[in-house]
Amino acid sequence: MRNKIVAANWKMNLNLAEGKQLVEGILAGLPALEVHKHVVIASSFVHIAQTAAQLAGKSNIHTGAQNCSTETSGAYTGEVSAAMLKDAGVSYVIIGHSERREYFNETNAMLAKKVNQALANGLHILFCCGEALEVRDAGTQNAHVEQQIKEGIFHLSAEQMKDITIAYEPIWAIGTGRTATSAQAQEIHAHIRSVVAAQYGADVANNVPILYGGSCKPSNAAELFACPDVDGGLIGGASLKADEFLGIIEAMKNI
């Protein structure tokens, strides 16, 4: 049975006191989860030590980061290495988020290097893919996402794929209030799984979690997560409020 995951992406939000309070609220309401169901809190770098301390010893809830460097160490001012993240208590790292691709010009080749750094340091990866509105309107979203996946992670072995979770982001639905319908989400999630199967075989593909990441809320999470190839969500705005995030976790608990 493949893992089910709900991951919070705080982006560049919250001061330390607010972050501490949010995690406290999540922990206070966190339901008991089966062994294959997980929650990830991906805060900004300045929160990581605090969040890791709050989550220490807790079951099925993990500290995450939103990015890591392509490099191991050295004269890279402002960068944070995967080794530093691991040492700070991070278990998961988001790689290839649409905002990193768009605002910081991260290419698939760069992301492949980040994937290698994360895996070399024992981190689980939330690898993001997805299309902008013009790609969706042109009907070429499948080919677009397929290229991102092939160039970003298909250099890995089947064994390494055990540490990969794919997060599909319809960029046109992030922060816009628009959401892909459950049918649209299932269609492209199924395509992503078929692409992984073509490269690695059905056994690997059937064990790779694929998350939905586009304006997922308590009101639509259950419907989205009921899709057979949707294994949870990468949550942005709704992860900044404990009650909303807990509502999404509850939807994941029930799938």
Exposure b/e, 221-230, CB count within 10 A at least 16 = b: bbebbebebb
Q: What is the CA radius of gyration of the chain?
A: 17
Active site residue 47: no
Which H or E run contains 62? strand 61-65
The DSSP bridge pattern shows strands 92-95 and 61-65 to be parallel
- Residue 169 catalytic? yes
* Binding residue numbers for substrate: 9-11, 175, 215, 236-237
Which is catalytic among the residues 97, 106, 124, 189? 97
Known binding site: residues? Answer: 9-11, 175, 215, 236-237
Exactly one of 99, 106, 169, 244 is catalytic; name it: 169
Tokens coding 21: 């309070």
- Of 95, 88, 47, give the one whose Cα is nearest residue 70: 95
Question: 234: buried, middle or exposed (CB in 10 Å: 19+, 13-18, 0-12)?
Answer: buried
Catalytic residue annotation? 97, 169
